[in-house]
A and B are shown apart, each in its own frame.
Chain A
Amino acid sequence: MSYLLAHPARVGALALAHAALVTGALAAACAIALPLGVLAARNARGSVVLLGALGAIYTIPSLALLALLVAACGLGSLPIFVALVAYAQFVLVRNIAAGIRSIDPAERDAAVAMGMTPRDVLMRVEFPLAMPVIVGGVRIAAVAMIALATLGGYVGAGGLGSLIFTGLALHHTDEIVAGSIASATLAVLVDVTLRGVERALRYGVSR
């Protein structure tokens, strides 16, 4: 605890870097997962194969995956960025597909019958209706990514993990605790915020 109190600016800066890494990876992960999720929602057989493959990635131990990625793309933030994006796919794609599939068929039918183009149906009906479930997936992915991103400290990506790994190397328990508390706090903040967004969408006031 004393490290955290003695160096709030340094911990704050690391937390900021940590958040930036996760935000970037989350954005990239969503950009990849959205089309994959739509595809999985439309095609039942394809969805089994795709989710199976993404599930397999999800089961690779994170240290092993990171080691492979360091061998492939060197040290720094790139390997952890790629690992975060890869791990998030399973949860994101699964929730996007589930969200779209859960829509009342009558609403989709009506949308097509009203003369919506496939794009209109997706943007005006399917995404808005699936959004609470999608945001639920984003929340779970984000929380997992914040924890996982601490491994970045091991490969020179910075962030709160560098506190933890420095502490481990130097037997400075204080730094380990500081890094852990900061990372957990970040995760809780994100969780609470996205829960709020989820609820607002579910019982929303949007017109």
Chain B
Amino acid sequence: MSAARVVLEGVRVRYAGADRDALGPIDLDVAAGEFIALVGPSGCGKTTLLRTVNRLQPIDAGRITIDGTNSEELDPVTLRRSIGYAIQATGLFSHMSVARNVGIVPELLRWDRARIDARIDAMLELVRLDPVRYRDRRPRELSGGEAQRVGVARALAGEPRLLLMDEPFGALDAIVRRELQHELRDIIARVGTTTIFVTHDVNEAVRLADRIVVLHDGRIEQCGEPLELADRPATAFVRALFASDDAIAERRAARPVHP
């Protein structure tokens, strides 16, 4: 699976009737294959920022290029089919089986039936759901964790260059959440796709991301590797955000010690 480089330059969003920008200006360069976490409190603009990338949210200024192509020049439907998308509420289609949910983007891309079926099984195995047991289930017959697994499988099924995730594990209990965080890291490492991940949970961001972007009032407060943000917070806001972070200790412990 190829990975996309995403570059945002001077991106701004202003909602109709508002007297100031809800987002921006945002400048961010996401390298191919990188895992970026957007972190911040509710209303900081992290979801808005995520949604500008697949053009669910129109931008009022600036530009977003994906592998060098200005996303405004692409047909939004074509663009979205090349980008995986997973959200907290899963958005699984309740009238379709798990298999059809997972196969929806390949179906939209008009792959042939055999290839779609093989892809569905491969994706279910990737997220550790037995295809034989899960293919024909309905979303309402799944637990929260299983539904999120299906959501991840669906997001990856179309061989996306880029994966957007908006608090995908936000509604899960702590144990399932940790388990899925762990597996997601594995899965992303295996498929190698570029990932932009929204969360309000700093621990989750530290566990998953190569780089963390801290957003505050629609602007980037600081951007860097997890330990860099923890060790050298640029502002009091970032310091406070990382103050109660037990995942930092885990990550420090995991870092190779040089003599």
**Which of A's residues lie within 8 Å of B, judged by CB?**
104, 106-107, 109-117, 120, 124-125, 128-129, 204, 206-207
B77 contacts A104, C-beta separation under 8 Å: no
Looking at the assembled complex, report how far the CB atom of A53 sits from the nearest CB atom of chain B, in whole angstroms: 29
A113 contacts B85, C-beta separation under 8 Å: yes
A114 contacts B87, C-beta separation under 8 Å: no
Q: Mark B104-134, 1 if CB is under 8 A from A, else 0.
A: 1100100000000000000000000000000
B108 contacts A204, C-beta separation under 8 Å: no
Report Cα–Cα, A109/B77, bound state, in Å: 13
Q: Which residues of A sit under 8 angstroms from B90, Cβ to Cβ?
A: 106, 110
Looking at the assembled complex, report how far the CB atom of A56 sits from the nearest CB atom of chain B, in whole angstroms: 33
Q: Which residue of the partner chain, among A107, A112, A128, contacts B56 with CB atoms under 8 Å?
A: A112
Looking at the assembled complex, report how far the CB atom of B254 sits from the nearest CB atom of chain A, in whole angstroms: 33
Task: Determine if B95 is an interface residue (Cβ-Cβ < 8 Å).
Answer: yes
B74-113 contacts to A, CB under 8 A, are 77-83, 85, 87, 89-97, 99-100, 104-105, 108
B87 contacts A110, C-beta separation under 8 Å: yes
B214-254 contacts to A, CB under 8 A, are none
A207 contacts B87, C-beta separation under 8 Å: no
Kindly name the residue among B82, B85, B100 whose own CB sees the greatest number of chain A CB atoms within 10 A.
Answer: B85
**Which of B's residues lie within 8 Å of A, judged by CB?**
54, 56, 77-83, 85, 87, 89-97, 99-100, 104-105, 108, 136, 154, 158, 164
Looking at the assembled complex, report how far the CB atom of A138 sits from the nearest CB atom of chain B, in whole angstroms: 18
Report Cα–Cα, A204/B96, bound state, in Å: 10
Q: Which residue of the partner chain, among B54, B91, B99, B164, contacts A107 with CB atoms under 8 Å?
A: B91
B108 contacts A115, C-beta separation under 8 Å: yes
The number of residue pairs between A and B whose CB atoms lie closer than 8 Å in the complex comes to: 66
A107 contacts B93, C-beta separation under 8 Å: yes
6 cross-chain CB contacts under 8 A: A110-B91, A113-B91, A114-B81, A115-B158, A116-B77, A125-B93
Given A106-B87, A110-B85, A114-B105, verify A207-B97 contact (CB < 8 Å): yes
A207 contacts B77, C-beta separation under 8 Å: no
Q: Which residue of B lies closest to A109 (CB)?
A: B91
Q: Which residue of the partner chain, among A106, A107, A115, A124, contacts B80 with CB atoms under 8 Å?
A: A115
B95 contacts A114, C-beta separation under 8 Å: no
B108 contacts A116, C-beta separation under 8 Å: yes
Q: Which residues of A sit under 8 angstroms from B80, Cβ to Cβ?
A: 112-115
Q: Which residue of the partner chain, among A104, A111, A112, A207, contacts B89 with CB atoms under 8 Å?
A: A104
A111 contacts B77, C-beta separation under 8 Å: no
A104 contacts B108, C-beta separation under 8 Å: no
Q: Which residues of B sit under 8 angstroms from A125, Cβ to Cβ?
A: 93
A120 contacts B92, C-beta separation under 8 Å: no
A115 contacts B77, C-beta separation under 8 Å: yes
Report Cα–Cα, A206/B99, bound state, in Å: 12
Report Cα–Cα, A107/B87, bound state, in Å: 10
Q: Which residue of the partner chain, among A117, A128, A204, A206, contacts B77 with CB atoms under 8 Å?
A: A117
Q: Which residues of A sit under 8 angstroms from B108, Cβ to Cβ?
A: 114-116, 120
Q: Which residues of B sit under 8 angstroms from A207, Cβ to Cβ?
A: 96-97, 99-100, 136
Given A114-B81, A114-B105, A115-B81, verify A109-B95 contact (CB < 8 Å): no
B92 contacts A110, C-beta separation under 8 Å: yes
Report Cα–Cα, A24/B81, bound state, in Å: 41
